[in-house]
A and B are shown apart, each in its own frame.
Chain A
Amino acid sequence: MKKYFERLWNGLVKENPVLVLMLGMCPALAVSTQAMNGIGMGLSTLAVLVLSNLVISLLRKVIPDQVRLPAYIVIVASLVTVTELLIKAYIPSIYEALGIYIPLIVVNCIILGRAEAYANKHTPLLSVMDGIGMGIGFTVALTIAGAIRELLGAGKIFGFQLLPEGFGMTIFIQPPGAFLVFALIIAVMNAIGIKTRQRQLVESGCDGNCALCATVCSDRKEETAGAEEQQKALQEAPKAIEAAAKEGGEAK
């Protein structure tokens, strides 16, 4: 049971597709003009992701390895078409707002990425949980970004006026705002990551991943590397003396 919840947590926080893995940036940037659009896009992607993970996981022993990518693309494209028609029929307002980005779920890297990295190696139930986790992670990231953009750009969240009328900085609803808001969200995540890693570093040394923690980590790595060498030398020193003594003995 625990590993199923671990999947959810993994998708939501540890490997959040947008904020950590940087997958699916196109729809994330494009539709996050309002919190509501973020939820709509997130849930559509979640539905496709869960179903595609399920189908691909069920077929993982049937699909030959050489043609797996075209097979995945056909599966995903069919599911997306179904989702598109359903949204068009039942929630036309969301269909209008998201427009071309619904069919473009086909080329969303999250879906093929999860198929390739997870669903084709694991059981259907685990793959479904992975899809739900990743989908929720995507939805949450989009909704947060949408809320920030809506608040700064129009002074509203989910359509409720929070700031006085006319306060909005329109640039945040326009394309540049998408880049700016995501840049800042990722920078904040990085800053938190660096802080926690620094704390962990004191206890455990460097984990070798210096991509995020930059100088602190690399300094630390040099230190630990230096320490390791010293220790190695210390450990080997008696052996070397012993060996030398032995050689000397043999020579005698």
Chain B
Amino acid sequence: MNGLIMIMVGSALISNVVLNQFLGICSFLGVSKQMKASASLGVAVIFVITIASAVASLLYDYVLKPLGMDFMKTIIFILVIAALVQIVEMFLKKKSPGVYQALGIYLPLITTNCAVLGVALNNVQDGYNFIECVTSGFGTAVGYTIAIILLAGIRTRINEKDLPAPLRGAPIVMIAAALMSIAFMGFGGLPH
């Protein structure tokens, strides 16, 4: 149990997926303009990453490893993720159109979010078992959500300021991300 909490805290805060490992930067910079969209994307990412790491873990342990097809993991994982996103999309469309509407375009875009594939590959590399994989996936996704919501909050404040022209747009957002990253380095002091 203690180990699982460590994995959870480690993946959510200490080695934050966006600010420390640089995965999912595209959507982190692209979607964080509005708080609402960021929160919706965060929830969708939690959903997809958790399920994707569970499925990837099962596939790796029971199919790829026994067959000695370790090198196929990149291809298999990306196909699983693409299929999974499609299934989640169809399921939400049918069962809860409200959530589907709220997520809009961000749902299909999760396929190309490198955080999903990155977590699946990292889990396998670290040799986690099924439960640890799910925990680490969930923790990572929570870390992503925390980071993108915080950045969205900062950006709504930045928009009200009069900035020098060259810094407008991407540069100032990345400077904000740099400061957030420095702040998150403080979590490195937690025991892990």
8 A Cβ contacts from A83-142 to B: 84-85, 100, 103-104, 106-109, 112
Q: How far is the CB of A13 from chain B (nearest CB, A)?
A: 18
Please tell me which one of the listed residues A23, A30, A186, A214 contacts residue B165 in the complex, with CB atoms under 8 A apart: A214
State in angstroms the CA–CA spacing of A186 and B169 once bound together. Answer: 10
Question: Any chain B CB within 8 A of the CB of A44?
Answer: no
8 A Cβ contacts from A141-182 to B: 171, 174-180, 182
Looking across the interface, which residue of chain B has its beta carbon closest to that of A109?
B26
Question: Any chain B CB within 8 A of the CB of A206?
Answer: no
A70–B82 touching, CB < 8 Å:
yes
Q: How far is the CB of B166 from chain A (nearest CB, A)?
A: 4
Question: Any chain A CB within 8 A of the CB of B134?
Answer: no
Number of B residues near A (Cβ < 8 Å) is 42
Contact mask for chain B residues 108-126; partner A; CB cutoff 8 A; 1 contact, 0 none: 0000111001100110010
A211–B169 touching, CB < 8 Å:
yes
Contacts between the two chains (Cβ within 8 Å), count: 120
State in angstroms the CA–CA spacing of A216 and B122 once bound together. Answer: 47
Q: Which residues of B are found within 8 Å of A73, using beta-carbon distances?
A: 78-79, 82
Binds B, one of A56-64, A188-196, A229-237: A188-196
Looking across the interface, which residue of chain A has its beta carbon closest to that of B183?
A176
Question: Any chain B CB within 8 A of the CB of A245?
Answer: no
A84–B74 touching, CB < 8 Å:
yes
Q: Which residues of A are found within 8 Å of B168, using beta-carbon distances?
A: 190, 214
B114–A104 touching, CB < 8 Å:
yes
Question: Any chain B CB within 8 A of the CB of A187?
Answer: yes
Given A184-B171, A190-B165, also A81-B185 (CB < 8 A):
no
Q: Which residues of A are found within 8 Å of B82, using beta-carbon distances?
A: 70, 73
Q: Do most interface residues of chain B lie in helix, strand or loop, or is the interface mixed?
A: helix
Number of A residues near B (Cβ < 8 Å) is 47
Question: Any chain A CB within 8 A of the CB of B22?
Answer: yes
B165–A215 touching, CB < 8 Å:
yes
A25–B29 touching, CB < 8 Å:
yes
Question: Any chain B CB within 8 A of the CB of A47?
Answer: no
State in angstroms the CA–CA spacing of A32 and B22 once bound together. Answer: 11
Q: Which residues of B are found within 8 Å of A188, using beta-carbon distances?
A: 166
| A interface residues with partner B (beta carbon < 8 Å) | 22-23, 25-27, 29-30, 70, 73-74, 77-78, 80-81, 84-85, 100, 103-104, 106-109, 112, 171, 174-180, 182-184, 186-188, 190-191, 194, 211-216
Closest 5 pairs (CB-CB, A-B): A179-B178, A183-B174, A191-B166, A30-B22, A187-B171
